[in-house]
Amino acid sequence: MFQFDAGEILLIDKPHGWSSFDVVRHLKRHLRGAKVGHAGTLDPLATGLMLLCTGKWTRHLGQMGDYDKCYTGTLRLGLTTPCYDMERQPDAFYPIDHIRTEDVHAVVQQLTGDQLQIPPVFSAIKVDGKRSYKAARQGTAEALPPRAVTIYDLRVLAVELPDVHFEVHCSKGTYIRSLAHDWGRLLNSGAVLTSLRRTSIGAYRVEHAMAPNYIKALIEST
């Protein structure tokens, strides 16, 4: 029996096209006033695991935000966009004829381990109290400073040029869009993230998550 007011941890499988705020708002609508928060955002074009807490469990959100995360994804070589994914139109195109399958594998080692990663300007990072993506939409964003992240494991699942399918285990604060962008740069080309799915946060797995639209029926049954 769920006790949403007292506090619960909910594993949500975020659908494609939903923002993280959409998921929280959807839950709040059906919980009728219960406190709700999430332990880390997902981009609208990404799918997969989000951890949401209600009631007293929201006090643990900061700790949960520190958990490492795993993803599967696909990048496309030969182009870039301002946001490093397909939410915006391409801003440049690059050759890929020189790239071989073994080249894609060869740069993995450079992308693994402790990294200083530059986040995309289309991100929720605050600059002078303002979300960077808001300035980016207005064309006034400046490059964000690099931040320390760790890529614990990065594996190529398949190479179907121009697409590369991969899985990654990384620390908090890692932008997989930036990882894709850096991958393209190391191959003397460009790259953009075309799909992303978060499969785990700490010990929590997406296989145990529920769809947001299941929440209403769940709440009404309690």
Positions annotated as catalytic residues are 43
Count Cα atoms within 13 angstroms, Cβ side, for 86.
13
Q: Under DSSP, is residue 221 helix (H, G, I), strand (E, B) or coil?
A: coil
Amino acid type, 153? D
Residue appearing with tokens 């139109």: 89
Phi/psi at 40 (5° precision):
120, 130
Q: Yes or no: say if 80 and 90 are a contact pair by the CB < 8 Å rule.
A: yes
Q: In angstroms, rounded to a whole number, what is the distance separating the alpha carbons of residues 168 and 184? A: 16
Amino acid type, 62? G
